[in-house]
Amino acid sequence: GESVGLHLPTLSVQEGDNSIINCAYSNSASDYFIWYKQESGKGPQFIIDIRSNMDKRQGQRVTVLLNKTVKHLSLQIAATQPGDSAVYFCAENPKTSYDKVIFGPGTSLSVIP
């Protein structure tokens, strides 16, 4: 069956360091992946996405890497700031469509000032 999961449930980093959050997925047919940030008391907020025909995509201070061979997704945050403290979810949209998004269990990122 489909599943999206995370290797590390919590991550603490020093302010200014880079953060890497990892995610594994099991549905090799999935072709669209998204990272969401959820701050306390708020809804998930889109950070960055990547389609299966890409290996890497960069945004502002964030980079998503996709390794289809091992079905692994990662989110890199450069120069982590206190405002980056949140729970990060990887998610997949199996058909790059208007279908549901399947969320992973989440990683809590804590930035130490």
Residues 66-85 touching other proteins, rule: CB under 8 A, are none
For position 45 contacting other proteins by CB under 8 A, the verdict is yes
Residue 94, amino acid: P
Q: Is the dihedral of CA 41, 43, 44, 47 positive or negative?
A: negative
For position 89 contacting other proteins by CB under 8 A, the verdict is yes
CA atoms within 13 A on the CB side of 25: 29
- CB 100 → other proteins: shortest distance, Å? 4
Q: List contacts with other proteins (CB under 8 A).
A: 32, 34, 36, 41-46, 49, 89, 91, 93, 96-106
